[in-house]
Each structure stands twice: as C-alpha cells, then as structure tokens.
Structure 1
Amino acid sequence: MKFLKTTLVLFSVLLILSSCRTEEIQIVNPPIENELVANSTVANLMRNTVAKDGSDDNIIDKASCLSIKLPVTVTVNSKEITINDKDGYEEIEDLFDLFDDDVDSIVISYPIEVILSDYTVKTVNSDEELEALAQNCKGENEEDDDIECLDFYYPLKASVFNSNKELILTLTIENDEEMYKLIGDLEDYAAVTIDFPFKVILNGDTYIYINNMQELEEAIAAAKNSCDEDDDNDYNDDDCDGCTTEGVKEIFANCNEWIVEKLYLNEEYLTEEFKMFTFSFRENGSIKIDNNGDISEGTWKVTGEGNDMSFSINIPNYPAFNGTWYLHEVKEGSGVVSVHLLLEGNHLRFKSQCSVVKNELSDILLAEGSVWAVENYKNDGVDKTETFTNYKIYFYPDNVVKAKKDGVVMVGSWEVSSDASILALNFSDAPVNEFNKEWTVASISEMQVVLEANDRRLVIKRID
C-alpha cells in the first residue's frame, strides 16, 4: 500500500462531504524551487541516502544490500549465541579474534527474516536462499547503492498539494523508512515540497543547514564518496593499521567522559558491574574514575604504532582494568568513539559520545521549545540536587539564561567558548548563582549536558 494512501482517501471523502465549506481549503502556490519531483536527480539521491543500510551485519550475511532482522541465533566457532542488537556483531568478532590459528566459522539458524534496501521483509530458509538474495541486490562492485556519508536529521516536514494547488496534507517524517516511502509515492501527488531549512549530518559528526533543493542536491552529491561506508566483508578493516600514539592521545583529549561498553574478564562478563562508572583519561597520564560521585584515581599510558600498540592501565581501587592491554581497534562514527583493548582472551571496550555534540552545544541548548532542569548537582561530593528541584532553565540566543521556579524568574548570562569545551554561567541571584562557573563540558547529547568544575559536577537534562 502506498505511503499514507489510506489517509489521502479518507481526506478525499471528507472533502466531498464538506464541499459547501470551500473556504476551509487552503490554496497555495507550491514553491517550485522546493518541490520534490519524482525521478529527479535530487529525489534519486535522497532515495539512496535513506535506503536501508545492510552493512552492519556483514560479518554474518556478507551483503551490504540487505540486513538480517534481529534477533537471530548463530553458531560461532561451535558456540551458539543469540544476536539481539548491534553489540552482538562485536561479540561475533570477539569470538573470531580469540585465537589467530583457528578457522573461523558461523552457522545461521534458519528460518530468518531479512530486510532489503527498500525495507521489504522476506523470509529466508537456507544459505542458498540468502546468497541468491544477496547476489540479486549487490551492485557490480559487490557494494550497495546507498549513501551513508550523509544522514537526515529528523523530524522533517513535507507539504502535499493536489492538482488545484490546494494544500491537502502536511506530513511529519520521522525516519529514513518514511522518507523512502514518500519518495516512492511522489508520482501519486500533484506536488510535494520539503520545508526548509533543516539539518543534515555529514560523516556522522558534522551538522550543516540546508536551505533549498539545490543545496540539498549539492550536499548529497558531495558527500556520496566522502567517507568509508564499510561496505566490504572485512570485519577487521577498522583495526589499527593507521593508529598512532598521538592519535589515541588526541581522541582522549577531545572526549572527556568514557563509559565501559564491554568488560569480559576470565570468561566472565563484568560490564554490568561498571555500567554507572565514567572515566576521564587526562593528558598528563592520569585517570579519574567517577562512580556516582565516588572519585578514584589511576594512570594510563599508550605506546607503539599501528597494530603493535600497548595500552597500560593501573587503577588501584579497580584491579579488573589493570594490565598492559593490546590496542585492538579504534572506531569513530555516528558521533560515537570506541576503543577496544585485548589481553590474553580478555576484552575491554570504552565508549564515548563526543564527536558530534561538542560542535552542537549552542544548538542543543537553544533547540526550539527546549526547557532544562537540574538532574544532578554535587559540590565537593555533597549532593545538593534537591535545592534546585522544580527549577526550569531557559537559554536564549542573546546569551540570556533564565531560571524559573514558582513564578520567580532569575536572570543571568551564558557563553560557550570558541571550541565549545567551556560553558560559562553567571546568575546574580541565589541559589542559582552557585552555578556561576566556567564549566568544562564533559559530555552532551540532545537530552543531557554534563558539566564539571574542579570539585563540582552539574548535570542538566531537557524536560520539554
């Protein structure tokens, strides 16, 4: 069924039933420069951009033009595991990497469902059926046609017009699949326009604004081959061929807060035990470990080059991390950086979200309709969050910030440093003047900003 076809049919019935109320029909001349035309260059580029990417699970299906619908059960080197999410692909790779002198194998438990690039779902009952599907959708270069170096930032708005230039529907597009279906349905509509401006994400870590169709076409065309789409079947091609000590140090200098994404030690998973910990790897070789306000210290050191790099950790209070690990790989993409360490069959992976958000701090604080609140505030280890319960914080483009509680408004100023690593706050009234600091930005997302200043830690969250 075509995208929103049922909605349009119902809308047509309503128009017939209310034909005497023609004053309610909005007649608008669609802006031609923003019209999305079926089979146009920009429409085809957009379709390839939002096509379903199937490269994440190439370690299983060896095909970037389709993906296996999770969960799926596979047997890896005689060990049966169930893959529930993308972390499971890392688990397969970890099992492959345990030994260098064995023959790696993976057996899929059928039947399974696969999702094609057009979001069609098919049932597959054997390796032969899977291979036939893969061969049918692969391009001449054994790669898919999708464009992964640019992503749309949702939600987006689109307007649908009929042949009388009447605005009959306004759409909110929430994800790639909805955009793909809209592009496939363009011939069913007299005209469709996209509401500009909107943001797109380049290479997973840079936002730019698009103001019209011409800019969109140029941006997608320029991004088409601007990054490694990882469409091959070499699951180790993101290992440390290009790693350097300076590069690793720079990553840790730019990313102030890390979590334990995985800790597998002596055949036991310890990730859950450390899930609330945050790690800061400082340039002077020290490590700060924050366990919900309980602070510990340690040291770290990286040496070597390429695939012969050592990563030494010494944390007296948490010996599970201690040792001279082998730096297996560093991954950067979609705003996430991960560092994977190996030691005699043990696995340690740290993860940080720092690539995208540092450039976007102001945009996040100023997001339309955003209201912020204090989620956590500690001063010298003392939890003072309750003091600021029910305060709402508003950021404004003219560097004005307001804190409001029970109808009382307290006005201050805010400023972000040129490299977005510092957020300065300055209020004149108590108690919020306690936040008057040049805060180091430890981590940010669209819903949370974590700030640190000496012995203080302030976490604000978006509540609207």
Structure 2
Amino acid sequence: MIFGAYACSEDDTQPTENPDSSLIANNSELADLLLRTSDVNNTSSIDCIDLLYPVTFFIYDSNQQQTGTQTVNSDGELLALLLSLESGTYIALQFPISVVLQDGTVVTVNSNAELVTLISGCASGGGGVPSDFETILTSGSWFITYFFDDEDETSDFAGYEFTFATDNTAQAVSATTTVDGSWNLTTSTTPDLILYFGESDPFDELDEDWDIIEATQDIIKLKHISGGDGTIDFLTFERTPNGGGGGGNTSDFVDNLTTSVWYVNLLEDDGVDETCDYVDYEFTFNANQTVIATSNSNTVNGTWSATSSNSGIDLVLNFEITGGDDPFEDLNDDWDVISFDAQIIKLMDVSGGNGGTDYLDFGRNPYQGCSGGGNTTELTNILLDGQWFVESYIDDGDDQTIDYNGYVLTFNSDGSVLAVNNNNTITGTWSVVTSGSGLDVNLDFGTAVPFDEFNDDWDVVTYTTTRVELFDVSGGNGGTDYLTFQKL
C-alpha cells in the first residue's frame, strides 16, 4: 500500500495528477502515524492528537491519475479507507485540515510536513499523562468542577463525590443517590480514560473515551472530541467542590489580582500564539474594578469583575477598543480561572461559536519569548518624529500610490494619526506592537477613502529613521499588499 497526502485549493478543484513528487509509501513515517492515530485498538496507537472531521481525500491510480474522492467522518472510516487501499494506489489529503492537540488547542495544518511534525511531536512527548495516573485516580475522592458539553453543565453534578477503585469500579455519591460506574485506561501509548456510569441522565454524558489533558494529585482535566460534529467536550475533576482551579475562593483571587502589577505571559487564541502583542504592557487591576494596561507609548483602560460560577471563578475583562485590529479585543471575554497563586494566573475560555479554546496567563514578570519582536519603542519614536508621506502603496500587484499624492501624515503620541492635503484632513489611529513574526504597525482610518485601504495589521519589513516599509498578506485571497512611508 502506498499513499500520499497533498495540498489542494479550497475551491474544491480536483487535481488531475499528483502535484508532489515525494510519495509516502506503506510503512513510511506519515503512513504509520496516520494508522496509529486512527486505530484505537493498535497497541502503539496515538491518542494525543485528533483529526477534526470531515476530512476529504483524493484517490489516484498507479499512473497518478485521479479516480475519485472520499470523505471520512471518523477515525473508524479513516482506518477503513487506509486498510482498503490497493497496492500502487495513492491518496491525497485536501488541505487545510484541523487537528486538536492534547490540551484542546485546535491547529490548522496546511501540508504533509506540518502533519508529521504535529503527530510525531505529541507522540514522542508522551501526551502529558503521568506514569502514576492510576494511583492518582484511585486515591481519595474527586468532584466535577467543570463539565462543558456544548454549554456549561457543571451544575448537573453538584453534590456528587466520585471515587475510582483499583478494581476498575467507580461510584458517584450524593446525600440521596448512589450511581455505580466503571473506569478503564486504553492500552495506547498515550492512554485515554474510559468512563461508564450507565444510561441515566445526566451521568450518561460522562460515558465517553476521554483524552487526558493534565493529571496531578489535585486536578484531572479531560477532553472528548465528538465523532459526529467534531465538537469538543471538557471534563475536570478536583479534590474539592467548585474548585475552578483556584479553590473557588473569589475573595482570595481578588486580593491576589489587585496586588502589584501583572504581565501577559501567554495569549493563545484558538491555537495561535499572540502573546507578543502584549509584551510591552504592564497591567494594574484596581480594587474599584478598573484595569489599566500601560506601555511606553500607549495606555489602554478597561474594567474587570470576578464572579463565582458552577465551574469555579470567572474573570470578566472588558478593555476599550480602538480600530478593527486592536489586540485588546482578544482579551475581552468571560475567562474561567484554571489556577492562581501569587506568581501566576491561568485562564481559559471555550468559544461559544467554533468550540475553539483560548488560553490567557498573567505573570509577575514580562514575557521574554519575543526575541524576534523588534523594538517597538524605537519605531514608535521614529514615526513620532516629523512628518511622512506615502512613497509607495501596492495593493495585490496594483500600484495605487497616486491616490495618496499630496497627503502629509503626522503620527501623534496620543495614538492618533492625521493625513492632510490642501483640501482634506483624515483622522485615524495607529500603534506599534510586537507579534510572533516581528513588529506590526496597526492602522485604522475608519471609512475615509482612500486611507481605509490602510486599515490593517501591517508587518514591518524594515525601517530606518527616514523610511518604514510594511507588508500585509490578505486573509481572504492570500494577496500581498506593500506600503512604504518616507519622511519629509
């Protein structure tokens, strides 16, 4: 059996021949990884990563001519497809596809190489399941502090104390009810926890094969990906009821939050690391429920509140937003408090839309992982110094520089920018931030033509004291725009 996975455009155009000369043969690395990912009965199966279905494959004959397509909707269907392929035939994945990592992060994959890296990486990492998991599970009692199945249903299990015995039996006991169940671990390299508590509501919701995200003496975090619609369920056990990762004590949490300053140490938005967007900011949470984020060139005001919910403590953040690409918009949410102490606050949010999971950490020290971010202060000071004009603007290959002839731009320290010619004054906003790819310049001129074309998050190519070169790759058609400012 030989099969290959190749990228195909998103417009469902079907290739007529293999576009990739690097075929993946039977027993090759990716072939083996895909089989181990889809075969739960394989003693070396990989459970630390899951494909989000449906996934489409193109099928080719020995002459590399396409003979058909097949869409698979589950691990079982994928395994059946792989095992049914005849010798000399090939298959090609239609990229992009999405996979879910052990911690619930959803990642978009665009190539064979990316898929190999993700699967082999998590497999070699052991999936984060400790070797003494059985001892942790069967020692003492547990309480469900978070259960999310399309919506938060933690309250359905309030008052129930769970115990897991070494003979693989389990019980959920309340003041008036006892529910018997069972538990098992799969024999895969990264074992799953199989729970069964019968068919009675709501305990039938727990009857799943759960991926183990994290396990310590105090907390067990699980996730399950539906084989039907691909939605993700989350289940958390802790040693005390309504823990929310921080013991459920809102007063202690508030005291900790409002003591001294904090820095964003992680912002992962649906699998994308955006931490460097906040690396220059120092956050102060005040007792009057206001919050201030301050950098050398900017101040962002907002509000916060901490509440108790069935899942524990929630931290609600609401920052003022300027423009369509303001990174602070990604912080505005109702965050579940996973854990907190004097040095770090860990938060999580599951999107009500696509089911993606976001993670936000605040720490006492600035994040140091933005070595490629560049010097925001230096570029900010350069733009503040003097007046500028648009030397060049290329919109997806179309030179539109003439539209900006005669305009003089002034970047002000309050975050405003003015574009002025003999007849017109256009006002917008600007900021310089760091991202994982380097420096970004955020521009927003609202609906004012023609400067509305500049409304975007621009990557900085290079800059000097008299010239700033930017580019942006469109999220729609993938075209690239180029913008250059020259100092007068």
The bucket for the TM-score relative to the shorter chain is: 0.3 to 0.5
Which protein has the bigger helix share? 1
TM-score, reference length from structure 1: 0.35
